[in-house]
Amino acid sequence: MKRLVSDGPLLWQRIGVKIAFAAFVVALWEGVVRMQFVPEYLFPGPFAVLSRLAAMAWDGTLIASVQASMGRMLLGYAISVVGGLAIGVLAARSWLFKETFGSVILALQSLPSICWLPLALIWVGLDERAVLFVVVLGALFSIATSTEGAIRNIPPIYTKVGLVLGARGIRFAKDILFFAALPELIGGLKIGWTFAWRSLMAAELIRANVKGVGHILEVGRNYNDSAMMLAGMLTILGISLTVDILFFGNIERRVRRRYGLEK
Amino acid sequence: MRIEFSEISKSFSANGKGGQRIQALLPVNFVIEGGEFFSIIGPSGCGKSTLLNILAGLESPDTGFVTVDGTRVERPGPQRAVVFQEAGLMPWMTVSANVEYGLKLQGIPRAERRERAMKFLKMVHLSRYAEALPHQLSGGMRQRVSIARALALEPRVLLMDEPFSALDAQTRDVLHDELQRIWQETRTTIVFVTHNIREAVYLSDRILIMTASPGRVKRITTVPFAHPRQKSSTELSAFAAMLHDQIKEEVDKVAATELDPDWDKRPVPVAPLPYGTGEGI
């Protein structure tokens, strides 16, 4: 009998198709470069870019840049998470906070965080702290607003059950509220990471004298080295995908499975 | 054990804060004795769940107070365990951890609370699922765990707010028998809110019938049959039918406010009765 609803592709089929398509895109890229519509120094082929990447990996600039960027990211993100969770909880639980600071935060969230950089440079000077400032502002408000949403969206049954079982105060917050909000909270933390990462890249590009993966692009531009710029972009893309899919994607999936939100 | 409702009344605002006030409960007075299976029935919107929430401490009355053994109810707590319509198991905890959590809050050592959780999981026949996660259970099984979780608190009174109304008829039948057995084993006082007359007649010692909104006590009836009861017994059906006739008046009042004025002129009533009166319970 013909089936009306298919089960969808199998895992090996999905991976196989992905690999084949990636190979096709690389081949297309190389093909376009070989036809020389644009000079190769402006638009290098995949092999040129990969060998540039390998060279940077070999001489240590790649590792040093990734380390510098990730160090800033982790510090800035950690500050944003702690601050954002605290602000989010306050906004969800206290209407006074919500009506005062809450509306300011909502307004500030609409301002792209990179717009703070010029002011930050004057305030804290031409150094790491200005970049960190922008990273924190990039993620803080987004984490705060999504934390507030996650807490407000907790099904009331868990609150009622928690109270009946005798949970109060800090126990109630960490045993019930936190876990009840967790599936949505992780989504907020993921978005916060993305915002922080974008802010960092923008800041590293503009603040040309700080080391970092964003800076690779700036150096590449100064030397008219397109392969270097593309290699830098690939590095940035690689880090984004690793964190989004491998790290956050994995945690999100595990939590959703445990909660029975997906199979 | 004695629960006393004194002059309890409650109103709500219709459209959020500052809207028109709607009187949900007029002053209500009654007493529930220890060990009793006491049901509260009434048409939808009569405030029966509000009454239960006030006893639980989840809502506070506008006037009056509830006392349990002379102590006023101020806030929710494990002495008055509640089984809600949704099982409300915490999905991040295993079945056993759900049952144990209330005991953990009371500072009961791990081994003892584990033992107590297993005792009550056995009572609802789910000891094999102690390490399962809630989403791996069926709706009926979840409600069993929810009952075990409430019983494990060894409460003075067990409150049940339409606990079986979200389940299918077969599961509900099985759980009625289970609840009757558990009640006879534990002799816990049970306050049971339902809109299902046959369910109330099958399980209860006494039934409080509420009027349509604003809710008042219409009357309190004693069900004159010894436990354990047979669901198929004709006396039980006759008694339920008699109660149904008495309550019809209140149901009609609700229909009159909710439906078009022509609803009762039709030869066949189309108004859905807020009571379950179909076959089985």
| CB contacts < 8 A (A, B) | 56
Residue B276 has pLDDT above 80, yes or no: no
CATH number for the segment(s) A41-258: 1.10.3720.10
Contact (CB, 8 A) for B195 and B276: yes
Kindly determine whether residue A260 and residue B136, on different chains, have CB atoms separated by under 8 Å. Answer: yes
CB contact under 8 A, A163 and B81: no
CA distance B202 to B180: 9
CB-based contact B105 A176, cutoff 8 Å? no
Higher pLDDT: A128 or A87? It is: A87
* Residue pLDDT, tens place only, A120-173: 888 887 778 888 999 999 999 999 999 999 999 999 999 999 999 999 988 998
Binary contact (B77, A166; C-beta < 8 A): yes
The token duo for A138 is: 């990039």
Contacts of B76 in chain A (CB under 8 A): 160, 163-164
Q: What is the mean pLDDT of chain A?
A: 90
DSSP string, B105-164: HTT--HHHHHHHHHHHHHHTT-GGGTTS-GGGS-HHHHHHHHHHHHHHT--SEEEEESTT
> Could you give the CA distance from residue A61 to residue B86 in angstroms, rounded to a whole number?
58
| Size of chain A, expressed as the number of residues it contains | 263
Of A221, A257, A246, the C-alpha closest to A42 is A221
Q: Which domains does chain B have, with CATH numbers?
A: 2-79+155-258 (3.40.50.300)
In chain A, the residue whose alpha carbon lies closest to the alpha carbon of B76 is A164
Q: How confident is the model over A182-209, as a mean pLDDT? A: 90
Residue A71 CB partners (closer than 8 Å, separation 6+): none
Task: For residue B241, give how far its alpha carbon lies from the nearest alpha carbon of chain A (Å).
Answer: 34
Q: What pLDDT does A196 receive?
A: 95
Percent residues over pLDDT 70 in chain A: 97
Average pLDDT over chain B reads 89
Q: Which position has the higher pLDDT, A229 or A126?
A: A229
| Lookup result for tokens 């893309």 | A237
Mean pLDDT of B172-186: 92
A164 → closest Cβ in B56, B92, B133: B56
Higher per-residue pLDDT: B255 or A115: A115
Yes or no, beta carbons of A259 and B91 under 8 Å apart: yes
**pLDDT surpassing 70 at residue B208:** yes
Residue range A188-201: mean pLDDT, rounded = 94
A208, pLDDT greater than 70 = no
What's the complex ipTM? Answer: 0.86
B31 touching chain A per CB within 8 A: no
Instruction: Find, among A138, A244, A241, the residue nearest to A198 by Cα.
Output: A138
B78 band by pLDDT with thresholds 50, 70 and 90? very high
d(C-alpha A228, C-alpha A223), whole Å? 9
AA letter at A206: I
Q: Choose the closest CB to A165 out of B84, B102, B136.
A: B102
C-alpha A168/C-alpha A257 separation (Å) is 28
B178 with B124: CB under 8 angstroms? yes
From CA B27, how far away is CA B46, in angstroms rounded? 13
Q: Is A164–B58 a contact, with Cβ atoms under 8 angstroms apart?
A: yes
B interface mutation test: which of A164, A168, A176, A254 has the most B CBs within 10 A?
Answer: A164
Residue A177 vs residues A170, A173, B81, B102: alpha-carbon distances, Å: 10, 5, 20, 15
Q: What pLDDT is attached to residue A205?
A: 87
Residue B18 pLDDT > 70? no
Angle between helices A128-152 and A178-206 (to 10 degrees): 150
For residue A34, count CB atoms less than 10 angstroms from its CB and return exposed for 0-12, middle for 13-18, buried for 19 or more.
exposed
